[in-house]
Amino acid sequence: MAFKVLVCAKQVPNTNEIKINPETGTLIRDGVESILNHDDANALEEALALKDKYDDVEVIVVSMGPPQAKDMLLECLAKGADEAILLSDRAVGGSDTWATSNAVTAAIKHYGEFDMIFAGRQAIDGDTAQVGPQIAEKLDLPQVTYVQKFEISEDRKTVTVQRQLEDGYEVIEVPVPCMLTAIKELNTPRYMSIGGIFDAKNKPLHVWSAADVAVDLNTVGLKASPTNVFRSFTPKPKEPGVKIEGDSETDLAKNLLIKLKGKHVI
Amino acid sequence: MNFQLTKEQEFVRKMVREFAETEVEPIAAEIDKEHRFPVETVEKMAKYGLLGVPFPTEYGGAGGDHISYAITVEELSRKCASTGVICSAHTSLCCWPIFAWGTEEQKRKYLPDLLAGKTLGAFGLTEPNAGTDASGQQTRAEDKGDHWLLNGAKVFITNGGYADVFVVMAMTDKSKGNHGISSFIVEKGDEGFSIGKTEDKMGICASSTTELIFQNCKIPKDRLLGEVGQGFKVAMSTLDGGRIGIASQALGIAQGALDVTLDYMKARKQFGKSLSKFQALQFTVAELATEIEAARLLIYKAADMKDKHLAYGPAAAMAKLFAAETAMHVTTKCVQLHGGYGYTKDYPVERMMRDAKITEIYEGTSEVQKMVIAASVIGK
């Protein structure tokens, strides 16, 4: 009986200068390279590291997105995942986090039994950090977010993780199955391997529709989404700050005073 | 005719580019300066399958094609030409002749470790008195009944100081000229085999270029590669493929130089505007970019022909001739576009210009490529 590790992954635009359609408030993806979301790469890496350690571990990547997201899944397979699933259907397009987690949860239930789920903490395009935790709730799984260190017990019945906090970390033990969301401190993702690239096409990549996973259509897609983007905008970049130089604290204070007086602030 | 890369080939470029930017570029200037062979990078290349790209999985290869191999060498060389040639010499000059000419036993014995990068390969043809005229081999191999006895020396052997497996040419019957040359597999540690002087070179300073010395070097009978007298054929067919590797190295050097030059031209301001805004310089860039693209197409075409088992020798010679001369021209121009800064070691184009020169010389000089091309065009 294989130990099945699911990884939730999202294809995201690779840009820091995301352009937004002013009418719909959604991202313009045309002409922008798509990549595997950064935190999801850490989630995948941890699953693959587990596979390196145990022969019976199978890694299954689950995603929701347009048909082009198959490329990102092929990349996951080229890194060493065993199987990939893409839920792709117009009916789930425009979903917010609640609707997305409904759809992905349905896909996971349709997949069947599993032992663990890794997800990235958040996606670089939406920054919500909600989908992973919502899936965990809907699957009634224990969850730990912001995982920066991961260990599994010898019998693989529990995992011990470090959960990053602003000023330290918590050590938490959780029973398996569970949902863990990964942050970049967890590991360094591997590259695809050349052999993996040529082997990827031999691995199963399923594309499922909403009907395949039997999700209630009233709970997915743009219309079913309780949150709507009201307005998106790119804030104007701030002027760079001024660094006050000085050899001593007295000097620094003096130079600061000179600057403030010069600008008639005081 | 289809000029689009396959999904796998695109992925290979993406992967090797990321690898080169993360693992190769940060140490490229340092290993050049220190003339240090990047053992740590070779280990990482091995781990990700970069040392066995165009070989079938049944021997432990990655199951890729020669365009993917060309892309691999190109992307490595874009950041560091020394790293590029380590991969090229290993793959084209050692793994390939064993794969193409080896017996099933030889393939099973050597390829799995070579293709996994557990062992590194090299190729010994050039001698002090046998360069372009490779037929003047003075290294001798004598049939001693139960073993071969090698005596002689090789020079300018890429990977020499770090290789474990060497494909070596030696004369078995001088009276037969080219047909008296045979090829052998020599292992590091073989009795009577040692590594001589390490060359102090102008460029590709982080690659290992050494002499190989055979003093009553005794190797078992089953190390003969191909038949007795087939060595020249083994060597020439190996070099045909090697030219795709070196052409790809040259292409990578040229592309890498243009990339950093474009960054420089956008940032550098003279007379109140960026260098990239001057039309005279834009025209230079346009010409360089066109040469690079032409080189790329020649290389990929030759690689594609090799994959399709077509006679690709002249195509590989054209690709190597054009890519090597492009690398030299582009890097020289890129130093010029950098002005005084380009002549310093603070910018990588100085290293790239030094590295480019060798591509016009090794694995067949530009003149040899012209001989091959002329023979195919005019007829022998």
Range A100-128 average pLDDT? 92
Residue B181's pLDDT is 96
Q: What is the ipTM of this complex?
A: 0.93
High-pLDDT (> 90) share of chain B, %: 97
- pLDDT band for position A20 (cuts 50, 70, 90): confident
Whether the pLDDT of residue B213 is over 60: the answer is yes
Residue A29's pLDDT is 66
Which is it for the CA torsion B100, B101, B104, B110, positive or negative? negative
Cβ contact B15–A78 (<8 Å): yes
Instruction: Give the Cβ contact number of residue A190 at 10 Å.
Output: 17
Residue in A111, A93, A100, A105 with CA at minimum distance from that of residue A204: A111
Whether the pLDDT of residue A17 is over 60: the answer is no
Range B104-124 average pLDDT? 98
A vs B, Cβ pairs < 8 A, gives: 53
**B29 with B79: CB under 8 angstroms?**
no
Tell me the nearest-neighbour CA distance from B51 into chain A, angstroms.
9
* Cα distance between residue B30 and residue B75, in whole Å: 19
Residue A75: list chain B partners with CB under 8 A. 11
Q: Kindly list the distances between the CA atom of residue B59 and the CA atoms of A18, A132, A150, B111, in Å, as whole numbers in the listed order.
A: 46, 42, 36, 6
Cβ contact B47–A193 (<8 Å): yes
Which is it for the CA torsion A251, A255, A256, A257, positive or negative? positive
* Cα distance between residue A128 and residue A122, in whole Å: 6
- pLDDT band for position A15 (cuts 50, 70, 90): low
Q: Is B363 a catalytic residue?
A: yes
- pLDDT band for position A5 (cuts 50, 70, 90): very high
Longest CA span, chain A: 75
Range A157-183 average pLDDT? 96
Residue A18's pLDDT is 64
N-to-C CA span, chain A: 74
Whether the pLDDT of residue A263 is over 90: the answer is no
Whether the pLDDT of residue B174 is over 60: the answer is yes
Beta carbons within 8 Å of B264's beta carbon, 6+ residues apart: B275, B337, B338, B341, B347
Q: Is B7 on the interface with A (CB under 8 A)?
A: yes
Residue B14: list chain A partners with CB under 8 A. 192
Instruction: Give the Cβ contact number of residue A208 at 10 Å.
Output: 20
* Cα distance between residue B253 and residue B80, in whole Å: 8
Question: Which tokens go with A133?
Answer: 């935790």
Q: Compare CB distances from A195 to B18, B62, B72 and report the shortest one's residue.
A: B62
Residue B48: list chain A partners with CB under 8 A. 191-194
Whether the pLDDT of residue B5 is over 80: the answer is yes
Q: Compare CB distances from B15 to A71, A191, A201 and report the shortest one's residue.
A: A191
Least confident piece of the model among A32-46, B55-69, B279-293: A32-46
Cβ contact A191–B48 (<8 Å): yes
Residue B314's pLDDT is 97
Q: Compare CB distances from A78 to B11, B61, B68 and report the shortest one's residue.
A: B11
Range A161-183 average pLDDT? 96
Residue B12: list chain A partners with CB under 8 A. 194, 197
Whether the pLDDT of residue A239 is over 90: the answer is no
Question: Which tokens go with A97?
Answer: 């986090």
Q: Which of B75, B142, B363, B367 is catalytic?
A: B363
Q: Where are the beta strands (DSSP E) in chain B?
A: 121-124, 140-143, 147-158, 165-171, 181-187, 193-198, 209-220, 224-225, 269-270, 273-274
- pLDDT band for position B380 (cuts 50, 70, 90): low
Residue in B57, B59, B60, B85 with CA at minimum distance from that of residue B72: B85
Give the dihedral of Cα atoms B206, B207, B211, B213; nearest 10 deg: 110
